[in-house]
Structure 1
């Protein structure tokens, strides 16, 4: 950029800035941007009490910016969707990202944004708008403050399931049905601090912070923010293990000696977690419903699993024990695809610095399920300078679970071994599974993690397969404007339609929720990279 151009832009933008910062002179009239009052004619003017002129400048700039981009949405419902979305984006509390974005543009001296920057800026606004909507839903779903809850405050019902480390019962708390998970405590002393220190990993998704000295302990543990594909864990507490009918038959060795004098090895106190009640786990669901599932439902389940793993990885967490019975399903909506959530974080690894763990001794735990460990984990050897990278290990395990979702036995429970298998020698998925999905699963199971897509890329590929125009997957790469038009259309539908749970919309709740999880992390470069990955790696090449 020449010195003359630089000086001209500095003078021009500086003059505009001074014009809007200086106090209003008599005769000047500026209409402030506020939410229009509801009128029967819908023709009310935008007006508001007087405010600072610089605020008006940014509000009007914001209006022009959002309007110019929403005008790209050209489907039949565009007019109504644009109007509602402008209200969502302009009048809600989401100004900070936009102001920062415009501020960077002004400070750079360019005066206008490049196409790439403009599209990334819109993705920023989309993420912020969808996150605001999601935060409100989380507030509705989260229990109000509860203090000093004990086992006696909860009505324990029927037995649901038992695992290696815990048992789950139906429970009623304040008239609402939940699930109560009681951890098996064989080693931690019977006091809150010792129990929480030993079992803190289980509480990663906890929504209610623990109190007093328990708070101090939890501050050292990475917290996992709420996500539609992570279990809803309301609150946790420690208490004495109660006497429950048939407990001596279901888990006799986990009981304390006071409840099972002849064979109880558990401690007197343990950890209790109140959770949302789910209908079943993925393994039982597939066993009972596999023949009735459509391919669309199977892909929805697989995509939800990848979105859950993506959320974990984004927050520096590796589950390390993914399997179909550690995946729960909410089937409360009849005749629709169930909502999928990841649960049981007792074997997880979390580190704010990243997912590379030092493996200096064979005594260090590598994960829960040896059969479904990624090759780079299963083949790791301990040493002074040895590290295990978990950044793509859960994505590999999700690829093995995909076999079950698409109607096959998991090959790594059968003949395949995660230490010496060949990808090409693994069983082929049925031909009714779309080619893109078959190739994606194969890539997720690559031995070398550098040849494997990340969970985020794989989830984006699935989202594009579900919602993007099909010719994008097999034809020429769409233009940036086409991608942005599609992205804005998805956003307007979610903001203006997906939040309504009445009538026919409720039947597609999981689909809207899945689109929302995609939009919550939408980045323009990620979408274009996923499209290129589909066309370069996953799409069959025509015979020459």
Structure 2
């Protein structure tokens, strides 16, 4: 055996022993506990788990000492005898351990970089689009306009209040100027009228329909407490906060913190149901008997005050088809919003284009916010797991966009539905709509999430970037264990949009180039944030959200998925090129 071959085998042996853990790992651990292998006091540091499992934690703090010991032993054998082959293998084994230690040291530095960046950007709190106000806890405080939406459990009206500050920000001024490229003049006129209406009615009031909650404020708040998940801390009066809001599943629902892609409820109060415009024509059955003799509703109900948005995502997509970059940013916003909810123990469970609201930033880019939390799962333990022991337990809304693991669940003893990746699956389905296609799970002859196969998913337009297509395919995987989380999928899009140079000549284990890119990206975002209006753009908000949620393992997983996709794409291109060459040769042969 040549020395070169021996060194190569030694390196491989060193990696396999320390990464996979051979049966003799216990014997190595016992030796490592000996004092002669220690190099300085052990230091507790956070280590990436993907490289070495936690059961090998002793290796993590002693690899440097092991490498030094093996290498010194190899040099001693050089002068005390032993075959050249054994000396080479021992030396290579020590070098292999040293390389692993170097990689772990790089990972430690990258993890520390991620933590430092995360700490800087988490201090920068997001402030909602409306300025805080101190009044508005009564329905009489608002001037109510026309109806702007109606669902299965509520109606939404535009509203304004005398006490509220002017909300005509630069964003809304730009909104009145932004005209999407449409050929139809009436569409442009409608959009101008919508923006003018927003100036007069900057708020929206959502009136819940109350069938069985009674007319006491306490019962109403308990029954509809899930609607309060995105509520501002001052949404309820101080005395109302003392009410124990049990929620649908018998526990206190969480209040999620502010996020640019999640709706904010500024006020929540109970009041007598009024006779609003169009009520007797559009929803007479839910009115109380005092307003409509055949009505089934109770006299009082819950009202929620929010910002007024000009469109739902469905309305916007019916009129416009976003470009490839805008579509990627819109999909990324949904993933950031879902990740924010998951981190705080909330599963929306009714994500669809009707429940996503839309406005435009100062650059004319669509800004998306997730709304309507009436079906959400918000539990105190943040597990996102729902015991499913009877058929009476609600799986959530919108059965068409119900993730496979939710749709196929069968109730039984100790059965639990895991919602941790269900909303991310729904984002994958909605992405078809964003890129101008029919949602494959909506059409009359479309797919069913309960039984579809991944190969049945329709192809996306060729104009959609390859990385985005990869993310959508991964999100729509049936097996949730093979499906990326919303955070990993968002990281993939961030890297694709802004970090392609960091992925060039990158492998999935070494993250030094990515760490360097993160530092540059952080500096750029901080400088932009100090520059005024550009700091409120959709892209700036997305970059801040990404940097405030940095995690080494999530980032490494995202890099691995992207590199796998790039390699697969290169193989496909290479195969097509080979086929083309063969066909050309056959054609030339025929000509001869």
SS of residue in 2 equivalent to 1:408? coil
Deviation at 1:141, TM superposition (A): 4.6
From 274, 281, 284, give the equivalent of 1:252: 284
- Contact 1:316 / 1:352 at 8 angstroms: preserved in 2? yes
Describe the superposition over 1:477-535 as per-residue Cα deviations: whole angstroms up to 9, x where unpaired. 59533222211122122222124334xx36x7110001111011012332222111211
Deviation at 1:144, TM superposition (A): 3.6
Q: Which residue pairs with 1:360 in the alignment?
A: 389
From 116, 122, 127, give the equivalent of 2:118: 127
From 518, 523, 528, give the equivalent of 2:546: 518
Using a 3 Å threshold, how does the CA distance of structure 1 residues 9 and 364 change in structure 2: closer, same or farther? closer
Deviation at 1:287, TM superposition (A): 0.8
Aligned CA-pair RMSD: 2.5
Q: Give distance in 1, aligned partners of 2:361 and 2:38.
A: 62
Q: Which residue pairs with 2:456 in the alignment?
A: 425
Is residue 277 of structure 1 aligned with residue 268 of structure 2?
no
Question: 1:128-143 alignment to 2 at 5 Å?
Answer: 128-135=119-126, 137-138=127-128, 141=130, 143=132
Q: Which residue pairs with 1:317 in the alignment?
A: 346
Question: 1:170-249 alignment to 2 at 5 Å?
Answer: 170-173=158-161, 174-175=163-164, 176=166, 177-209=202-234, 210=236, 211-218=238-245, 220-249=252-281
Q: Which residue pairs with 1:307 in the alignment?
A: 336
Using a 3 Å threshold, how does the CA distance of structure 1 residues 7 and 459 change in structure 2: closer, same or farther? closer
Using a 3 Å threshold, how does the CA distance of structure 1 residues 480 and 375 change in structure 2: closer, same or farther? closer
Q: Which residue pairs with 1:338 in the alignment?
A: 366
Larger radius of gyration: 2
Unaligned runs of 5+ in 2: 1-31, 43-103, 167-201, 247-251, 576-592
Question: 1:54-93 alignment to 2 at 5 Å?
Answer: none
Deviation at 1:470, TM superposition (A): 4.6
- Contact 1:142 / 1:234 at 8 angstroms: preserved in 2? no
Q: Give distance in 2, aligned partners of 1:119 and 1:430.
A: 37
Q: Give distance in 2, aligned partners of 1:473 and 1:403.
A: 29
Q: Give distance in 2, aligned partners of 1:434 and 1:321.
A: 27
- Contact 1:378 / 1:419 at 8 angstroms: preserved in 2? yes
Using a 3 Å threshold, how does the CA distance of structure 1 residues 133 and 478 change in structure 2: closer, same or farther? same
Is residue 168 of structure 1 aligned with residue 156 of structure 2?
yes
Deviation at 1:224, TM superposition (A): 1.1
SS of residue in 1 equivalent to 2:330? helix
- Contact 2:467 / 2:565 at 8 angstroms: preserved in 1? no
Is residue 150 of structure 1 aligned with residue 138 of structure 2?
yes
From 482, 487, 493, give the equivalent of 2:518: 487
From 349, 354, 364, give the equivalent of 2:377: 349
Deviation at 1:398, TM superposition (A): 0.8
Q: Give distance in 1, aligned partners of 2:513 and 2:448.
A: 44
Deviates more, 1:439-448 or 1:407-416: 439-448
TM-score by length of 2: 0.69
Deviation at 1:218, TM superposition (A): 4.4
Deviation at 1:124, TM superposition (A): 2.0
Q: Give distance in 1, aligned partners of 2:565 and 2:272.
A: 55
Describe the superposition over 1:111-137 as per-residue Cα deviations: whole angstroms up to 9, x where unpaired. xx94433332232222222122225x3
Describe the superposition over 1:144-189 as per-residue Cα deviations: whole angstroms up to 9, x where unpaired. 444x711001111121111111111111122442111111111111
From 407, 420, 424, give the equivalent of 1:391: 420
- Contact 1:359 / 1:382 at 8 angstroms: preserved in 2? yes
- Contact 1:361 / 1:382 at 8 angstroms: preserved in 2? yes
SS of residue in 1 equivalent to 2:147? strand
- Contact 2:229 / 2:378 at 8 angstroms: preserved in 1? no
Using a 3 Å threshold, how does the CA distance of structure 1 residues 473 and 534 change in structure 2: closer, same or farther? farther
Q: Give distance in 2, aligned partners of 1:294 and 1:493.
A: 25
Q: Which residue pairs with 1:459 in the alignment?
A: 490
Deviates more, 1:281-290 or 1:438-447: 438-447
SS of residue in 1 equivalent to 2:368? strand
- Contact 1:306 / 1:455 at 8 angstroms: preserved in 2? yes
SS of residue in 1 equivalent to 2:341? helix
Kindly tell me the number of residue pairs found equivalent between the two proteins: 432
- Contact 1:474 / 1:535 at 8 angstroms: preserved in 2? no
- Contact 2:503 / 2:514 at 8 angstroms: preserved in 1? no
- Contact 1:465 / 1:473 at 8 angstroms: preserved in 2? no
Q: Which residue pairs with 2:170 in the alignment?
A: none
Q: Give distance in 1, aligned partners of 2:40 and 2:434.
A: 62
- Contact 2:253 / 2:380 at 8 angstroms: preserved in 1? no
Q: Give distance in 1, aligned partners of 2:500 and 2:39.
A: 46
Describe the superposition over 1:342-381 as per-residue Cα deviations: whole angstroms up to 9, x where unpaired. 0001001122330111111111110110111111111111
Using a 3 Å threshold, how does the CA distance of structure 1 residues 477 and 5 change in structure 2: closer, same or farther? closer
